[in-house]
Amino acid sequence: MKGHSDTDIPISLLVVDPSVNDAEDYINTLRNAGLVIHPQVVTDPESLLDSEESERPDLILLSIPETEEKIAESTRLCRGVYPDTACVMLYKNPQTSPALLLQAMRDGARDVVSVEDPERLQLVIRREAVDLHTRKTLHETLQKLKEAESRCNTLIVSSQDAIAYIHEGMHMQANPAYLEMFGYVSMDELEGLPILDMVAADDHKQVKTFLKNLGDGDGELQVTCQNSAGETFRATLIFSAATYDGEPCTQIVIRNDAQSRELEHTIEMLSSQDAQTGLANRQYFMNRMEQKLEQLKPAQGSCSLFYIVLDEFADIRARLGILESDNMLKEVAGILTPLVGENELLARFGDHSFTLLSDTLGQEAEQKAEQLLQRVDDFIYKEINITCSIGVALLDQQSNGGQDFINSAYNAYEAARNEGGNRVSLYDPSEMQPSFGESNTGDEARINELIAHALDNDRFRLVFQPIVSLQGDSREHYAVLTRLLDKNNEEILPDFFIKPAIEGEQMARVDRWVIEHAIQEIAGQRNEGRKVNFFINLSSTSLQDEGILLWICDCLRKHKAKGAWLTFQVRDKDLRNHIQAARKLIDGLKKIKCQLAIDQFGSNPKAETLLKHLPVDFVKFDFDLLEDLATNQKKQDQLNELNKLAMLHKVKTIAMGVEDANSLAVLWTVGVNYIQGYFLQEPSENISYEFGNA
């Protein structure tokens, strides 16, 4: 028995013997052989009737009474009370007639053993234990098979693919999609018809030859099918060996090639379109823009990019509500579309931002931007005058690609917004180049000054991005992200200020600012009845901060919040570099019911180490795993293995940076639990995502 020895299988044993002492001797004999026995002793077979409601034993050890009549009566009682339980009989009198022992076997005993032969008793019980385990395993397997077949049948019935089962060329069963494809009302019409009736006459020979050579294997065939009305269509037939109602047969899945092409076209459209507005989505826009820039590069050509953002959208959404503001966005898309030329591309780039890629240049581009601005300014929705700010950038030959182009247009938009909004601003590199970032070598001091000022004057801003379940969990999870505001209220992203904050020894204060304001926000959300949960970053600095745990407890008490509402996420690398400090802090966080997420999971080849040694609740996959996921089989395989590893440790998985439907399809197939990214929503100051509609 694989996985079990015959001595470690526990046996619930019922001993029927008039002598309790003798019964104890039998039990000790079996235990001395290493058998795991859970005994119950009955001194009178009649007492079995009283014990009927107790737990059913795995095995009965029945001492043979003195007379043949009592043997039959005892056996009948055992069989009556426990009809499916194996019974072994013990005889004490060496002179017991062989005929009597044979009759005991005829009456249902699995074996008869002399009490004077303890070694044989051990062997018999050991054999029965193995047999019992085998029967239980077989029963469980058959039950699982039955459940699997039931689920399979349910899936087949509801499948959009046409599926049928044939035996010796004749139909046995078919699903509704198959009946509909061939124009039959019920299975009664189809049962017994040959598969050749579904195929055009010109392809009969091809199908016969194919089935003859198929045997018990699998195969695929393209033929012309015909329905009951004689109408023909090209289809792909996929054959595979199967069983139906226990009978060997062949399963056929038929896919209408014309419908498949239509479906592929629909999927392609969905993967490139924003479902809400009908415009191109962010990922499709970025891909098309990169292609455009590659085409223009050899000839040093140029184009323009418009970054269009609705003004004061947070206030508009607060006044209109989520559904009405979403409808308003759809109508804005509708009024912008007529101004888009044949060779231009308009996309919904973010929650309330749009981008337009255009061949217009110079004054013509500025005029077009003014037209777009005026069109929005003329639009009134529910008595609200909608306005926007537009940044326009012209392609610079020194540009490093699409992201730089986007950044330039965005910086121009920021200038328009800072001047009061409802205006157009052209990108001027001398005025609008951001004065911070990795490319600027003397910026660390200025950033550290900004951080210090922000800590003293609440010049950080929290934004929130939803984390949505792919498995039907409707709980409202949000990632808490941080923005640093400069003197012009421009947002500086963490990529630009985290490293200076660490090097300037300010990261501990930044973490504490974020944690306290996040706790304050979630307490307010919970008081309003929202079942919100936050994911909050902890830096390596905070892992080593011995006072951070007590400080978090004080914050929770101060704002009347609960630890169970918070999940702290720490980078894989930081946990490994500070494992002892991390374990101590995490143990404390667990005591106040906080949860733990590993960020950038999969960035280290020894991914399982942390799962084994820390009480992990979530893992967030490394961003690099999600890049080009839809087209990179190696990454798909790696993600699948990491997801299985997390499931093995009962840890939920989160994919970040999801920006397109193709990646989403892969993540759903892999079995990832949650997703986060611009495909759902860009980070926003508002906690307003409709999880029930996800």
Residue 648 contacts by C-beta under 8 Å, 6 or more apart in sequence? none
Q: What is the pLDDT of residue 67?
A: 67
pTM of the model: 0.45
Which tens digit of pLDDT belongs to each residue from 10-39? 888 889 888 889 889 889 988 888 888 888
CA distance 237 to 205: 15
Percent of the chain with pLDDT strictly greater than 90: 30
- Identity (one letter) of the amino acid at 237? L
Do the beta carbons of residue 567 and residue 593 sit within 8 Å? Answer: no
CA distance 203 to 257: 16
Q: What is the 3-state secondary structure (H, E, C) of 207-255?
A: HHHHHHHHCCCCEEEEEEEECCCCCEEEEEEEEEEEEECCEEEEEEEEE
Which tens digit of pLDDT belongs to each residue from 546-583? 899 999 999 999 999 999 999 999 999 999 888 888 99
- Identity (one letter) of the amino acid at 686? N
Strand partners, 422: none
CA distance 677 to 392: 26
Strands (E), 453-526: 460-469, 476-485, 491-492
Which tens digit of pLDDT belongs to each residue from 77-127? 787 788 888 889 888 888 778 888 888 888 788 899 998 888 999 899 889
CA distance 680 to 657: 10
Q: What would the two tokens of residue 592 be? A: 């106040």
Which tens digit of pLDDT belongs to each residue from 597-616? 999 998 888 888 889 889 99
Return the top range by mean pLDDT from 40-49, 148-157, 336-345, 466-475: 336-345
Q: What are the two backbone dihedrals, phi and then psi, of residue 300, each rounded to the nearest 5 degrees?
A: 55, 40
CA distance 286 to 280: 10
The distance of Cα 469 from the centroid of its chain, to the nearest Å, equals 7
Q: Considering Cα of 417, then 418, then 424, then 426, what sign does the dihedral take?
A: negative
Q: What is the distance in angstroms between the CA of the first residue and the CA of the last residue of the chain?
A: 47
Q: What is the pLDDT of residue 655?
A: 92
Q: Averaged over 452-478, what is the pLDDT?
A: 87
pLDDT at 523 over 90: yes
Do the beta carbons of residue 678 and residue 655 sit within 8 Å? Answer: no
Q: What is the pLDDT of residue 626?
A: 83
CA distance 243 to 176: 19
Confidence of residue 437 (pLDDT cuts 50, 70, 90): very low
Confidence of residue 1 (pLDDT cuts 50, 70, 90): very low
Q: Averaged over 161-176, what is the pLDDT?
A: 87
Confidence of residue 2 (pLDDT cuts 50, 70, 90): very low
Distances (CA, A) of 76 to 13, 16, 19, 152, 694: 18, 13, 21, 43, 62
DSSP-H helix ranges across 107-182: 118-158, 176-182
Q: What is the pLDDT of residue 441?
A: 35
Q: What is the pLDDT of residue 152?
A: 66
Domains along the chain with CATH numbers: 11-140 (3.40.50.2300), 159-262 (3.30.450.20), 273-432 (3.30.70.270), 508-683 (3.20.20.450)
Q: What is the pLDDT of residue 264?
A: 52
| Closest to 367 (Cα-Cα) out of 390, 397, 388 | 390
Q: Considering Cα of 679, then 685, then 686, then 687, what sign does the dihedral take?
A: positive
Do the beta carbons of residue 477 and residue 535 sit within 8 Å? Answer: yes
pLDDT at 496 over 90: no
Residue 7 contacts by C-beta under 8 Å, 6 or more apart in sequence? 33, 34, 35, 36, 126
Q: Averaged over 657-686, what is the pLDDT?
A: 82
CA distance 196 to 170: 9
Q: What is the pLDDT of residue 397?
A: 61
Least confident of 35-39, 166-170, 266-270, 585-589: 266-270
Let me know how many helices (H) and strands (E) the chain has, helices first.
25, 26
The three-state secondary structure class of 2 is coil
Do the beta carbons of residue 335 and residue 377 sit within 8 Å? Answer: no
pLDDT at 5 over 60: no
DSSP 7-74: TSS-EEEEEE-S-HHHHHHHHHHHHHTT--EEEEEESSGGGGGTTTTSPPPSEEEEE--SSHHHHHHH
Which tens digit of pLDDT belongs to each residue from 450-463? 888 888 888 899 99
Of 400 and 283, the structure prediction assigns the larger pLDDT to 283
pLDDT at 47 over 80: no
| Closest to 373 (Cα-Cα) out of 325, 329, 339, 324 | 339
Percent of the chain with pLDDT strictly greater than 70: 89
HSE-up of residue 362 (Cα within 13 Å, Cβ side): 1
Confidence of residue 309 (pLDDT cuts 50, 70, 90): very high
CA distance 184 to 198: 11
Of 429 and 419, the structure prediction assigns the larger pLDDT to 419
Q: What is the pLDDT of residue 374?
A: 95
Average pLDDT, the chain: 84
